[in-house]
């Protein structure tokens, strides 16, 4: 008996050496052509499902998923996801199909996951699979918009998808060199008129050129985190940004939506004009009074409501980033309450662009 | 040694009625205390000289009764009575008809908001108060954030500024001059950098000053004023006569006429104004103003020049 225990101990002690040696002589094939051993495949999937399920418990699910983010998420899907996962009406490249593991057709699998699990996978990616994390960890709002898109994906036909992702036009190339191609890349989501193709997309038409250019540079240089903007900005020649900023600045801004919430508008106007001195909220119009102020400060009259409120929340959490002036706004938004954000949003989004 | 007791911020060098009363009380306390100490020390010295000589029980009892019970009681009660008698005169409140001028001072982290109330709209200023010599001025002391304490040692006793209430204090300055006040209650990281300039002026000069203060500055400071509004400074600061009407930060109307900058801590020069705009936190840690170092240097300079010329 003594002798057997001793043998076992010696065996265990030399096992790592044997494994290391086997690895060193190249015993373990890392080629993707033959696939995993059955047991490896089972174990990796088991580990992945378990980890996603467990880590998803830490995710804070919002009360309401941002349905207004469907279109921009579709636009991002076309650039970031479809190349591996395919899209309605767009067969994948054989190169993507030869990946190990093969990226699943998402229409088949999203139903197996809960919202928080999809969020976890999209935000953090999956190791050993080629599934990348979201390009920034600071924008949960974008990840939730992608969850909305994924939920809509199984029932989506090719026409709907093309309308969401490309506005029904031909898909622009993956790297835009010419100005026409660069503009087409912007227009997919921001619209030919620059008014934004979804409620959560910012209105670019009539925005200050200086602010637009500074913001594009901030995206390109990673000073303003956003998965959805990083991809298209990286796909455009840096030198084209100036022309793009000028193009959108020169478009006319359409009239703001009709005002329904009089009381909210009035309260928002109070904050915009006078701030809330005791809470240290400065007056918005001190900087955001369009033509009378520095063009580095964005014009807000007639801006998208969902966009304003999302940005104010990001500023409040200190995650917005942006131009060299964005620390001013971080300071200003620090003590805004949720109600303040609603009121200010109502005020600026329904303000006539001429004001 | 007495030089250390003089200067712009000394309770021992009074320039006001209240400060004078406090100073007298202090001197009376020190003199009486000193006399008692001398007496006790003399008795001790005497006792040591006596060696082991026996003292009669009766005279020992008498000494303990008179020296140990009656004398301390009488002395302490007298001093206490004097202090009590002084108290009303340290907190004299002008009757409504007398209070022609009331100064409201609000403590903010880390500066003072000042409003002169008389007939007509209040006159707003910050970090400096001016008083006419020889008139009793009533102060209304408030706070918007944490507890501060308002203290100009040369003019009178201190009074806390408590959020949610208005404390009253009245001061009668009897000597013209420039004095320094300080926040006397720890209020945050820059508490030690929260000072105040108090300028006591001849009544005629004071009235003239107040008249000027009530009007917008006549300014010849170039394009700085336009840049001030252009870059959004008006979100937080007010400058009378311009579009800038913010109330979060100090009122900057007539900034050029103030003695000091940043709540009594640096000299009021163009360089210092420019330095503060670019990096407030370097001069005043924890200040609420964000740094404007991203503005072009020439814009910062132009704004500083303009502000310095707001007389």
Asked whether residue B92 carries a pLDDT value surpassing 80, the answer given is: no
Give A281's contacts in chain B (Cβ within 8 Å). Answer: 248
Contact between chains at B288 and A280 (C-beta distance less than 8 A): yes
Give A275's contacts in chain B (Cβ within 8 Å). Answer: 235-236, 246-248
Q: Is the dihedral of CA A259, A262, A264, A267 positive or negative?
A: positive
**Domain-embedded: residue A174:** no
**Domain-embedded: residue A315:** yes
**Domain-embedded: residue A34:** no
How do B260-261 and B195-201 pair as beta strands?
A: unpaired
**Domain-embedded: residue A10:** no
Round to whole Å and give the CA distance between A220 and A129. Answer: 27
Asked whether residue B101 carries a pLDDT value surpassing 90, the answer given is: no
A236 and A269 inside one domain: no
At B24-67, the pLDDT tens digits run 889 999 999 999 999 899 989 988 888 777 778 898 899 889 88
A244 and A278 inside one domain: no
Tokens for A311? 């940005």
Nearest to B230 among A281, A284, A293 (CB): A293
| Choice between A196 and B11, residue whose per-residue pLDDT is larger | A196
Partners of B246 in the beta sheet? none
Domain's final residue, options A141, A166, A191? A166
**Domain-embedded: residue A278:** yes
Round to whole Å and give the CA distance between B102 and B131. Answer: 10
Nearest to A275 among B144, B248, B291 (CB): B248
Nearest to B290 among A294, A297, A331 (CB): A331
Identify the closest residue of chain A to B289 by CA–CA distance.
A331
Listed residue (A114, A126, A134) closest to A56, CA to CA: A114
A346 and A275 inside one domain: yes
Q: What is the extent of the structural domain holding A76? A: 57-166
At A145-194, the pLDDT tens digits run 999 999 999 999 999 999 999 998 888 888 888 899 999 999 999 999 99
* Residue B232 to chain A, least CA–CA distance (Å): 4
Q: What is the DSSP string of B236-255?
A: T-B-TTSS-B--SS---TTG
A145 and A190 inside one domain: no
Tell me the ipTM for this assembly: 0.85
Contact between chains at B144 and A293 (C-beta distance less than 8 A): no
At A79-133, the pLDDT tens digits run 999 999 999 999 899 999 999 999 999 999 999 999 999 999 999 999 999 999 9
Residue A289, domain CATH: 1.10.760.10
Domain's final residue, options A226, A250, A274? A250
Among left, alpha and beta (phi > 0; psi -120 to 50; other), residue B145 is alpha
A61 and A158 inside one domain: yes
At B141-153, the pLDDT tens digits run 999 899 999 999 9
> How many structural domains comprise chain A?
3
A75 and A155 inside one domain: yes
* Residue B190 to chain A, least CA–CA distance (Å): 17
A75 and A157 inside one domain: yes
**Domain-embedded: residue A192:** yes
Task: Assess A291–B contact: CB distance below 8 Å, yes or no.
Answer: no
Contact between chains at A283 and B234 (C-beta distance less than 8 A): yes
**Domain-embedded: residue A271:** yes
Give B223's contacts in chain A (Cβ within 8 Å). Answer: none
A274 and A322 inside one domain: yes
User: pTM to 2 decimals?
Assistant: 0.86
Round to whole Å and give the CA distance between A131 and A123. Answer: 10
Domain's final residue, options A166, A195, A214? A166
């Amino acid at each position: 008996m003594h002798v057997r225990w001793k043998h076992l101990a010696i065996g265990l002690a030399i096992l790592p050496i044997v494994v290391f040696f086997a690895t060193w002589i190249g015993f373990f094939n890392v080629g993707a052509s033959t696939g995993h051993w059955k047991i490896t495949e089972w174990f990796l999937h088991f580990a992945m499902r378990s980890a996603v399920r467990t880590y998803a418990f830490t995710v804070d699910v919002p009360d309401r998923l941002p349905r207004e983010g469907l279109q921009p998420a579709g636009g991002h899907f076309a650039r970031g996801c479809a190349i591996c996962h395919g899209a309605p009406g767009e067969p994948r490249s054989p190169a993507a199909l030869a990946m190990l593991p093969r990226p699943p057709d998402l229409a088949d699998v999203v139903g197996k996951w809960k919202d928080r699990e999809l969020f976890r996978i999209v935000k953090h990616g999956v190791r050993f699979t080629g599934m990348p994390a979201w390009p920034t960890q600071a924008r949960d709002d974008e990840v939730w918009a992608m969850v909305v898109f994924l939920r809509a994906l199984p029932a989506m036909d090719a026409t709907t998808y093309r309308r969401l992702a490309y506005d029904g036009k031909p898909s622009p190339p993956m790297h835009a060199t010419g100005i026409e191609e660069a503009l087409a890349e912007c227009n997919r989501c921001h619209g030919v008129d620059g008014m934004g193709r979804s409620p959560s997309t910012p209105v670019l038409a009539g925005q200050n050129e200086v602010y637009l250019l500074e913001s594009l540079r901030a995206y390109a240089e990673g000073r303003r985190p956003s998965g959805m903007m990083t991809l298209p900005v990286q796909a455009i020649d840096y030198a084209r940004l100036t022309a793009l900023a000028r193009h959108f600045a020169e478009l006319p801004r359409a009239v703001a939506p009709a005002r329904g919430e009089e009381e909210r508008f009035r309260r928002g106007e109070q904050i915009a004009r006078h701030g809330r001195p005791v809470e240290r909220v400065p007056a918005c119009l001190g900087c955001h009074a369009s033509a009378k102020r520095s063009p580095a400060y964005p014009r807000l009259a007639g801006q998208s409501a969902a966009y304003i409120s999302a940005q104010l929340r990001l500023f409040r959490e200190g995650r917005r980033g942006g131009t060299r002036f964005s620390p001013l706004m971080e300071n200003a938004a620090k003590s805004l309450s949720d109600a303040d954000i609603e009121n200010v949003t109502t005020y600026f989004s329904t303000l006539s662009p001429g004001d | 040694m007495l030089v250390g007791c003089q200067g712009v911020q000394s309770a021992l060098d009074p320039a006001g009625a209240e400060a004078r009363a406090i100073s007298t009380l202090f001197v009376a306390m020190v003199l009486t205390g000193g006399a008692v100490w001398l007496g006790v020390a003399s008795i001790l010295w005497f006792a040591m000289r006596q060696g082991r000589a026996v003292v009669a029980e009766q005279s020992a009892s008498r000494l303990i009764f008179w020296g140990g019970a009656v004398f301390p009681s009488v002395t302490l009660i007298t001093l206490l009575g004097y202090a009590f008698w002084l108290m009303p005169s340290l907190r004299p409140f002008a009757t409504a008809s007398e209070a022609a001028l009331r100064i409201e001072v609000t403590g903010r982290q880390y500066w003072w908001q000042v409003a002169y109330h008389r007939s007509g709209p209040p006159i707003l200023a910050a970090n400096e108060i001016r008083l006419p010599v020889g008139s009793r001025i009533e102060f209304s002391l408030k706070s918007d954030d944490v507890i501060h304490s308002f203290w100009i040692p040369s003019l009178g006793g201190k009074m806390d500024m408590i959020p949610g209430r208005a404390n009253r204090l009245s001061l009668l300055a009897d000597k013209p001059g420039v004095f320094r006040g300080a926040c006397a209650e720890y209020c945050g990281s820059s508490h030690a950098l929260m000072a105040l300039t108090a300028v006591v002026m001849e009544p005629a000069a004071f009235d003239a000053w107040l008249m000027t203060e009530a009007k917008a500055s006549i300014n010849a400071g170039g394009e700085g004023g336009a840049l001030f509004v252009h870059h959004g400074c008006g979100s937080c600061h007010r400058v009378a006569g311009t579009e800038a009407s913010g109330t979060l930060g100090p009122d900057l109307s007539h900034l050029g006429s103030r003695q000091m900058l940043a709540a009594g801590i640096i000299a009021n020069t163009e360089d210092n104004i420019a330095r503060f705009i670019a990096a407030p936190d370097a001069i005043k840690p924890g200040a609420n103003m964000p740094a404007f170092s991203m503005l072009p240097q020439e814009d910062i300079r132009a704004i500083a020049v303009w502000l310095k010329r707001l007389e």
